[in-house]
Every structure is written in structure tokens, then in C-alpha cells.
Structure 1
Amino acid sequence: MREKLVCRACEAITQPPAPSYPIARGRAGPKLLAHVLFAKYGLHLPLHRQSDVYQREGIDLDVSTLADWVGASAATLMPLVDAIRGHVFAAERIHADDTTVPVLAKGKTRTGRLWTYVRDDCPFAGPAPPAAVFFYSPDRGGAHPEQHLAGYAGLMQADAYAGFGRLYEANRKGGPIIEAACWAHGRRKFFDLARLNKAPIAAEAVKRIDVLFAIEREINGLCATRAPARTPRA
């Protein structure tokens, strides 16, 4: 509520400016919007359940209202998203992976994909802060990472997912992305076999990979000394 005051001498009307809200002409403040967004994406609480929670507290917030807030908040945050995306894809090297995410619909649940691209220069003492950018897709088609990385040229560490294959092709528009395979993913299958105690070769592979991991832990955060420390031992 904003008071209106009238000058007795000149009868001029004055009123303090309206408070600034994240959503233009909206009534929800930043704390409430942050709570709704975190409940939906951090706690995986659907909007209709959030509406029920508010209803039990005597607060009437329709699902349509909450949905409008989520959409408007996403639009408001887009400049920040663009800045993070630009920072991540400005890196010489990135990490990429995807995971499943359940998507609720009325009466059913389907499986979507959440793609993550990470910039982390800390292991080699890089000055840039780490960051991650996320993309959603309804399936795991290779067209999605192609679209996400359309303007990127550099080195990408990822698993052996076939959908990444076109990114490494020599005739890729903008030039090929340099593939850096992931030892953690490569180790996983050997570890599963070794755990069954039926594959001595797999156990030996795990042992040798763990030696490489130990070397990397020792030189983590170093810069110029990384290669000289790694090469003779790896």
C-alpha cells in the first residue's frame, strides 16, 4: 500500500513510487518466486501440489497463476542464463554429460533428458570461475547436443555416447570439436566385471586406471608442472 499525500498549499498530489518486482505489474516478490521455483525444480514439487499447500494455509494461488510466475521468472532470468552460457562455451575445454529426468503429465510420467555442460579450469589453476549450463530435451537424440554446441569449438570431455559423434567430424560446420574420452566412464564397465571376481583382466584394468587417478589427484590445481609430473608416470 502506498500513501497519497496532498499539499494543503498547492493541492499537488504526491505518492512514493511502486516497489520494484521481478515481474512487471506482478504482485509476487522475489522471495516468493524463488520459493516456487526451488520447490518445482529443486524439490520436484509440481505446481498443483504447491497450490494445494498454499490452499491449506488459506492462500488462494491457482496453478495457472503459479505457471505464469514460473514462465515470467524464466524470462526475467534469461540474461543471467545467457551470460552463464557464454562463459561456459568460451572455455577451451568443457565437460559434457546427460541424465534422465522424469517429466510429469496428467496420469502418466515420461522420461526427458537433462544435458549438462561444465567449465572447470580449477584442475590446471585456470583463473576463470567454474560454471555449468543446463539444457532440457524430451529425448536423447543427437540433434540436441549439436544444437547446444553449434557455436562451440574446443575440447570436450564426455562419455562414448554415439550422439556426440557428429560433433567430432572433420566436416562439421565451424570445425570439429576435439574429443577427450572420460576415464571414469571407461573404468565403470571394468569395475562392474571386477566386482564379480570373475575377470582378472578387468581387475588389472581397474588397478591401472586407479594409478592414473592417483597421479591426477596429486597434480590437481597445478599448471605448468602438470605435464612433466604426469608424462613419466602415466
Structure 2
Amino acid sequence: ARRKFFELADVEGNIRKGKDPKEISPIAFEAVRRIDAIFAIERELNGQDPADRLAARQERSAALVEDLERWLRTERALLSKHAKVAKAIDYLLSPDHWPGFTRFLSDGRVCLSNNCAERALRGVALGRKSWLFAGSERGGQRAAFMYSLIGTARLNGIAPQAWLADDIARISDLPVSRLPELLPWNWQKPAVSPAQAA
């Protein structure tokens, strides 16, 4: 939501693109300023436990979010439906986006920004063309299965390459009844023997 306003308020970016400075929207500039004030509070709360974050958000951010919504609705009523900034306001205030934007006010575990999720999916986006050539539908299903396991390993704090190497080395000697031991949430890093360390 912020990005849509930022693009309309980015003076330097517009100058680089050769746009007239008059195209800079003062409403978008003010929206960015207000959203950035909320992000400033989030930076201060980063690393705190969810209960403390939620309490601080209720105390400090909730009023800013209410004020932002009220201000956006007031400004939107004065704009033509064709104005670029009106489209940015409509996007943020839509029933599909506003509840997601404000969810951080009711759950201390939720981040205001989705940057972390976007970074996590970056590898998927970068590999998309390569994965078109999985060989077959079955190959694509196998790739999806492996990608899920690797993601699960990461979520469990395990280095995927070490986990996969150990699993591949051990899987042929393990009875089927013990295969669940190799799943990321059950896996134990093998102890290094003195002979292997030397």
C-alpha cells in the first residue's frame, strides 16, 4: 500500500524519469509521511515479544492508523475517480486490503511490512523459468515436494544442504518404520567422530 503512494511522492525518482515536478502528489507525500510514522514505531518494537508489541501498538499506533483512515477518506471524497492518488487510496481502503493492513493492531506476531515474506518468495520468482523445464508434471510435483521440505528445514532452523546430505547418506540403511526420523522437525545433526574431525 505504501509503495503506491511512494511512487506518486518520489521527487527524485520522478526527476530521473524526466517527469514534471508538478506531477508530485502532495496527498501521496502526506500519506507516505503518515505511514512512515507508523513504521517508525514498528522499528522501535522490533525484537520485542508479541504481547509487548501488541500493547505498544494499541497504545501508540492505533490512533495513528485511525487518523490515517479518516484523513484518507476525507481526501478521497475530494478527488476525481481518475486521479492517480485516488486509485492508491482506493487500493488501501478497499475491503480486500484495509483489514490486512490493520491486522498488526490485533496480533503482536504480525509484521506491518510484508518484506520478509517477499524475500522468502524471491527464490521462487527467480527460479520460475527454470522450473518450467521440470521434465513432466510428475517432475514438477517432485520439485514442489523437495521445495516444501527445504522450506520446512529452514523453518526448523536447519541448514537444508546439511540435512539433505545426511538424509541421503542414511536413508538406504534405515528401516521404513524409522524414516520419520529424517524429517526436518525430527532430524538430529549427527555427532562428528574424532576420526572424521581429523
- The TM-score with structure 1 as length reference comes to 0.27
The structure with more radius of gyration:
1
More strand by share: 1
Q: Given the two structures, how large is their TM-score scaled by the length of structure 2?
A: 0.30
